[in-house]
Amino acid sequence: MAARRYDPERRQRIIDAAIRVVGAKGIAGLSHRSAAREADVPLGSTTYHFATLDELLVAALRQANEGFAKVVAAHGAIRDPRADLPAELAGLLGEWLAGDRVGVELEYELYLAALRRPVLRPVAAEWCQELSAVLAERTDPVTARALCALMDGICLQVLLTDQVYDEDYAREMLSRMIP
């Protein structure tokens, strides 16, 4: 009997592969088999680490969700009471949308998959909760949630209509919401 190969990074490689598959083929193209092929691991490895496809999607969504919320949390000026919060947020949105377009689209595709897959809803909600928690340090919890919704809407409009991101518009709309 052959010894089992120690591969501590295999689970992460499967998640990364699932994200690449969804990026290339959409959620409908993701299966245990397609993730295993992309990760170059045996099919049994995907089912060992993720018993169901929903478990794999949850892991992929959780990783993808780290995108914009992590950028905002790491941006020190967001927490600085002297900083112009609408300008900072509008600038960060612009940077994020100007970056890896496939990554941004993928994050939203996984996020919107929660509409059809209830198991993903708590993970999708984490994005707004984490971002709201950061923004609530500068505003209040209700305004923070409204800012998340506005930024989501602006991003979706840019992605769905192929419009060029208008930072001045975003800053103006954000400033109307911040007391």
Q: What is the pLDDT of residues 110-141, one digit of tens each?
A: 788 888 889 888 888 887 888 898 899 899 99
All domains of the chain in start order, with CATH: 10-60 (1.10.10.60), 65-177 (1.10.357.10)
Task: Quote the pLDDT of residue 162.
Answer: 83
Q: Would the pLDDT of 79 be above 90? A: no
Cα separation values, 56 from 2, 96, 134, Å? 28, 25, 28
- For the stretch 39-46, contacts whose Cβ atoms lie closer than 8 Å and that sit 24 or more positions apart, written own/partner, are 39/10, 39/13, 39/14, 40/13, 41/10, 41/13, 41/14, 45/10, 45/14, 46/14
Mean pLDDT of the region 38-49: 94
Mean pLDDT of the region 1-27: 81
162: left (phi over 0), alpha (psi -120 to 50) or beta: left
| % of residues, the chain, pLDDT over 70 | 95
Q: Which of 52, 59, 53, 24 is nearest to 38 (CA)?
A: 24
